[in-house]
């Protein structure tokens, strides 16, 4: 399983738009900051990077309106790995795998 932490700083007053765009994802708003963060995970044969590329090239993503990217001032992402044994991570409900349309 591969995980990525995504942190997005957004313009003040844009929280509603971003919330609607990413409603299907588990995300958190950082208190006292114009920032959203979330952890996404992927456990598939093509790997995280290829799956992420497929998602951004998908019709599902292209049809998003408004485009969430228009509200991101400072994107940041970092690949992560669990410090727990792999069998424990697979049972975790705190991180969901993201599925992508092909």
Which residue, 78, 67, 79, 70, is CA-closest to 10? 70
Q: How confident is the model at residue 22 (pLDDT cuts 50, 70, 90)?
A: low
**Cα gap 76→94, rounded to integer Å:** 21
pLDDT, residue 34, reads 82
Q: In the predicted model, what is the mean pLDDT of the chain?
A: 77
Band the pLDDT of 48: cuts 50, 70, 90: very high
Give the per-residue pLDDT at 20.
60
**Cβ distance 46 to 100 under 8 Å?**
no
Pick among 3.40.50.300, 3.40.47.10, 3.30.70.100, 3.40.140.10: CATH of 2-77: 3.30.70.100
Q: Which of 29-33, 45-49, 79-83 has the lowest mean pLDDT?
A: 29-33
Mean pLDDT confidence for 56-63: 91
């Amino acid at each position: 399983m591969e995980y990525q932490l995504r942190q997005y700083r957004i313009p003040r007053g844009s929280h509603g738009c971003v919330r609607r765009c990413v409603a299907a994802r588990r995300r958190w708003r950082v208190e006292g900051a114009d920032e959203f963060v979330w952890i996404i995970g992927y456990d598939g044969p093509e790997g995280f990077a290829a799956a992420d590329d497929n998602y951004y090239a998908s019709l599902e993503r292209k049809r998003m309106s408004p485009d969430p990217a228009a509200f991101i001032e400072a994107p940041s992402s970092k690949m992560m790995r669990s410090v727990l044994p792999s069998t424990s991570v697979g049972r975790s409900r705190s991180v969901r795998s993201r599925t992508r349309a092909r």
